[in-house]
Amino acid sequence: MQRSARFCHHSGMKPLHYACLLLLLASCRKHSHTPTNTINPGNLPVIYVTGSNGTNPVLWKDDSAEVLSTSAGYGEQVLVAGTDVYVAGVCNVSSESTPAGPFGQYLYWKNGTPHNFDGSMELLYASSIAVNGNGVYFASHALWENGNVLSLPGWGTASRIRAMQAVGGDLYVAGSDSVGDAVYWLDGVLHVVSQGYYPRFSSGGDPEVGAFYVSGSDVYMTGFDMNRVPVYWKNGIPDTLKTAEEYITQLNSIFVSGSDVYVAGSVLGSKGWNLPVYWKNGVETVLPFQGTMYGGSANAIVYYSGNGGTHLFVAGDDGNGAALWEDGIETMLSAKGVANGIYVAAN
């Protein structure tokens, strides 16, 4: 049966968790390993998760792991379009770094085959992917359509793309414009969601975009406003997110189902660790986790309703390694690494 591609999300932020960076500058070739399937034993949706095993970029289908490259790297977003599986991410991550971070190769994999963009560069940007008809769109330090760079109004050296989504033939691209505003582009037309300090003020902060989601005619974005208040915006109207812990550290993913708004991220707990959390309509839930060293983070969230019932899936890390929570129950995907993106398809 052909799977329907309906539920997808990923981390707009880019947490880098590596135990070590081995096999430096190796080729971005495919390598596979398939353990026993324990996540999906029956008529349940198919769960795709991408991230890293602590060294290599990995795609998990249910809990069957496919190592996408023998080099150091990670996947950030996974997307299913028809029978094709796309993963946006980075490989060839070098141990040598500048003050801004390490170097690596931006790319996407289509059914395990790599498609590179430019050469090795500083990893300052998130990577994301969208498929719209015959167009394959990839974003990191620029936006490409089928390998050709596209120009966006308001784009400049300070611009960032955090997420993309194709909806009904339209392409939404979310991030920051040249003056630091939180924005999205709809088919190339710029829309400002929240302004930064410039040019209204001589100093201040800019909003930080964490994630983006389109539901019907409504546009949702989550992140921090110019005063570092954690929020999600619905059609430009902010709604503040709160925590019972110390403070919110990351807002990584947003998903909407009907009137319910889900946001995933992390908060600083009383012991000084980051805790993986999600909010449903502003109500906070701290996810149970096994890790004890660094805490963890919820990096992608999807609510699924279809074959197998209704389920809430959260991908992230628990301080020990890559993790997937289904309805609050944790499954360790890897003893090290992190899960950054998730896609759930009907079986």
pLDDT digits (tens, 9 = 90+) for 34-43: 232 334 445 6
pLDDT digits (tens, 9 = 90+) for 78-110: 999 999 999 999 999 997 767 777 899 999 999
pLDDT at 219: 98
pTM of the prediction? 0.87
pLDDT at 99: 76
Max distance between CA atoms of the chain, in angstroms, equals: 59
Q: Average pLDDT for residues 209-216, to the nearest whole number?
A: 97
pLDDT at 105: 95
pLDDT at 18: 27
In this model, does residue 44 exceed pLDDT 90?
no
Q: Average pLDDT for residues 4-16, to the nearest whole number?
A: 46
Q: Average pLDDT for residues 191-218, to the nearest whole number?
A: 90
pLDDT digits (tens, 9 = 90+) for 317-340: 998 899 999 999 999 999 999 999
In this model, does residue 239 exceed pLDDT 80?
yes
- Give the β-pairing of 247-257 and 260-268: antiparallel
Round to whole Å and give the CA distance between 142 and 162.
11
Q: Average pLDDT for residues 204-228, to the nearest whole number?
A: 95
Residue 311: left (phi > 0), alpha (psi -120 to 50), or beta? beta
pLDDT at 101: 76
pLDDT band at 120 (very low <50, low <70, confident <90, very high): confident
Topology adopted by domain 5-345: Methylamine Dehydrogenase; Chain H (2.130.10)
pLDDT digits (tens, 9 = 90+) for 131-182: 999 999 999 999 999 999 999 999 998 899 999 999 999 999 999 999 999 9
Q: Average pLDDT for residues 249-257, to the nearest whole number?
A: 97
